[in-house]
Structure 1
């Protein structure tokens, strides 16, 4: 049996040391863009080989050409300024660290200027050993993390006002991907859980926004983007987590408060959902996923190298099958291994063991 449809991964992989060195040398002016591209190409080939050997699917390029999961969009879109917001990240032990974000602030009118996934798509089309996907960031990420009073409100008075222009940027790129013949697109949406994060909903309310209306506006934007892709014959997945930055997380809160609105209204083919800790809450909200839509259970953590018990994971899948038919379930890590260039605190071997574990559980459950 081919387990590529039941054993999946979110997308980003740890950058190999040679690629990190090449990025540093390029930033220092020691190598040019073409030399960096050659190192990137070789690193992607190695990432594809790791995925092939593990049996994991669908293939990605590890996001090796990006600084973080959103940087390709911000670099190719007018309106972003090189000023990073300061976001609060949570770590084990209830510590909270404040770090310069990996994203740029919105300081001007947002307009799609250049393609930002075409080179990734072309290389995967030529070299992926099987089905492959490309990930693009979702609108809500920018609504939550990239609007800041004193910088963004000169153009967009409130964070809600960026939705239409940002959605147009994402839609322009995804429509181009569909025309290029890309068959699988993933939309990364770690900030939907901001709407069940009391700390952030309080921020929205203090700004005079109704969180439920803001969520509705983001969902409607996504409906249009996803609907356009599916009308073009593209398979669409959407990934929801709670942020993932060097083993830390951004949001806290269960899916209960957003499940009916998000799962019920955005017509994706499959949801990739973070379920590696108790922060995600119970599996009960997956009952709101429409019949025939696949639920990919993100049960294997990428935040640490500790390896989960396959028996425990298999039991969690069995638990989920009481809410969603087993044939409509799959398993994956809860997020990528490196949402930004430095990645999570795992080793390359840890990462491989995690991928192997996902495949092992898929074989046990669906074999």
Structure 2
């Protein structure tokens, strides 16, 4: 197997994309028993072919399937892993103004010992290998997401007395899947970690402390688990990116807090090829923490929001990239939207045309800055 990793692209996106109306209807029809699984798969295949064309026409890369086969960015893992129970966690989402939406995403609590049962990204990888017009990536969730969002006292603690106790078993689940992806021939894997910012969220820090946990020790344990997975992938020549945001659900966010409190542990502790970092609002703070990113690692600046359809001013984007270049060389930077357009099936409150304009803006701005 070649150890040649994919060269960084200057214009990329995080992974999930808005589902077209036809696919949403097909999913509803399947849930209601009006169509069978084979018909739903055919609808997914057709929609993925369309979104691959959209990515090709915009010039953005590497390709993804838009996560069109998933209910949300973590659902394939929960569906393929023993130990999850059909009970939704209670998550406190934040929204601009009065636009708060109730959380009805399909998320499951941990109620038993976690064990990898079925592949959860095989169909995605196989289809992309056959149909992507160029290099593609497969996205998987990260350990910390489940430590924060899927452990609950009274449900999870018989199997895992504390959140910290599930880290190793969850890492083993992810390790099994990424090893299989490598055997499938996947050369680019992205790990999505929106809950690292829980460790700069005062509300959640208080929750961890009330449970008798040291938040910094819990963070480091998650970082060490991720680092083992990432190092193993890179030794096999796989390009690895990691995405950090503050949650992304129908225009809402989950965490608040800047990168300052986690940058040294996270950026310095996980040996990825590139970081995809949310930077579309003041919630992210300054660019100063990216100084902790090791030499040779790219930072993809998530400056274009996916939470609304309002289009950013390209001059403002160029100015912000220039600001970031005071902390890392311009050649170590790239540009993307701040998160996916649809981290769960309904997606964020913007239109298909809004999404396309934002992809085009990322590409045109990158061309302007890097040529």
Aligned residue in 2 for 1:99: 103
Structure 1 gap ranges (5+):
none
SS of residue paired to 1:88:
coil
Aligned residue in 2 for 1:8: 12
2:49 aligned residue (18, 22, 45):
45
Which whole-Å deviations, capped at 9, do the CAs of 1:25-69 have from their partners, x for residues lacking one? Answer: 000111111000000000000000000000111100000000000
TM-score w.r.t. structure 1 length?
A: 0.98
SS of residue paired to 2:243:
strand
Q: How many residues align?
A: 365
| CA distance in structure 2 between the partners assigned to 1:224 and 1:365 by the alignment | 35
Is 1:247 the counterpart of 2:246 in the alignment?
no
Aligned residue in 2 for 1:199: 203
Q: Is the 8 A contact 2:105 2:344 kept in 1?
A: no
Which whole-Å deviations, capped at 9, do the CAs of 1:58-91 have from their partners, x for residues lacking one? Answer: 1000000000000000000000000001111000
| CA distance in structure 1 between the partners assigned to 2:201 and 2:101 by the alignment | 17
1:48-197 to 2 correspondence within 5 Å? 48-93=52-97, 99-197=103-201
Which whole-Å deviations, capped at 9, do the CAs of 1:96-128 have from their partners, x for residues lacking one? Answer: 665345310000110000111011000000000
Change (3 A) 1:100 1:172: same
Aligned residue in 1 for 2:290: 286
Tell me the C-alpha RMSD between the 2 structures: 1.2
SS of residue paired to 1:86:
coil
Aligned residue in 2 for 1:337: 341
SS of residue paired to 1:23:
helix
Which whole-Å deviations, capped at 9, do the CAs of 1:221-246 have from their partners, x for residues lacking one? Answer: 00011011111110000000000000
| CA distance in structure 1 between the partners assigned to 2:159 and 2:85 by the alignment | 13
Q: Is the 8 A contact 1:4 1:58 kept in 2?
A: no
Aligned residue in 1 for 2:4: none
Change (3 A) 1:97 1:67: closer
Deviation at 1:4, TM superposition (A): 7.7
TM-score w.r.t. structure 2 length?
A: 0.97
Q: Which runs of 4+ in 1 moved over 3 A?
A: 94-98
| CA distance in structure 2 between the partners assigned to 1:292 and 1:231 by the alignment | 16
Structure 2 gap ranges (5+):
1-6
Which whole-Å deviations, capped at 9, do the CAs of 1:322-359 have from their partners, x for residues lacking one? Answer: 11111110000000000000000000000000000000
SS of residue paired to 1:256:
helix
Deviation at 1:180, TM superposition (A): 1.4
